[in-house]
Amino acid sequence: MNFLHAEIMKTTRKCRALLSVGLNLVALFFSTTAFITTYWCEGTQRVPKPNCSKQRRHNCIDYGVNETDQNKVHYSWETGDDRFLFRRFHTGIWYSCEENIHEAGEKCRSFIDLAPASERGVLWLSVVSEVLYILLLVVGFSLMCLELFHSSNVIDGLKLNAFAAVFTVLSW
């Protein structure tokens, strides 16, 4: 009976360890992907349509008059959303990219260029905290794998599991 009980305990311990490793691997994958990608946030941004010119005839506001006289008041009969373009954008921790309304493609800018000088320290702090988060997850994942594959003794496995739990909680 003790042998059967020991085998069931070993199997359930292995299942729990495998589940922990799998969940930690998913968290590591998502955090690394979020750190690398520029697709944290996607959407459209409403921007006013530019004035029509000889080069630009579409998606612009045409006043229907000659632009040479600067003293004239020009009226546009477009109202509501007709006065705006909806430019697509996506952003991440490193770059912010937006659809270029004047040419094909997109225009990307670094977070250093976008942030005011007074706010750059906060951005660097978030980058450092994300790197620390990923490193602590890697340590926890490594300890869980070590416990899963190289721990035959229950006490040693529990010690490794406790250290893995500490590193995983610290990563939060």
pLDDT digits over 26-70, tens only?
999 999 998 888 888 888 877 777 767 666 666 666 655 555 555
**Beta-ladder partners of 108:** 97
Assess whether pLDDT exceeds 80 at residue 107.
Answer: yes
The position carrying tokens 């300890």 is: 143
Report how far residue 21's alpha carbon sits from residue 19's, in angstroms, rounded to the nearest whole number: 5
Share of the chain above pLDDT 70, in %: 72
Q: Which residues contact 26 (CB under 8 A, 6 or more apart)?
A: none
pTM attached to this predicted model = 0.62
Assess whether pLDDT exceeds 70 at residue 78.
Answer: no
**Residue 10: what pLDDT?**
59
**Residue 57: what pLDDT?**
63
**Residue 81: what pLDDT?**
60
- Token pair for residue 73? 């008041």
What would the mean pLDDT of 79-97 be, rounded to a whole number? 77
**Residue 153: what pLDDT?**
72
Query: Which helix H or strand E contains 58, and what residues bound it?
Result: none
**Residue 72: what pLDDT?**
62
Pairing of strands 84-91, 106-110: unpaired
**Residue 69: what pLDDT?**
57
Query: Mean pLDDT lowest for which of 79-83, 93-97, 134-138, 139-143?
Result: 79-83
- Distance set, CA 163 to CA 16, 22, 25, 167 (Å): 16, 17, 17, 6
Look at 172 and 98; give whichever has higher pLDDT.
98
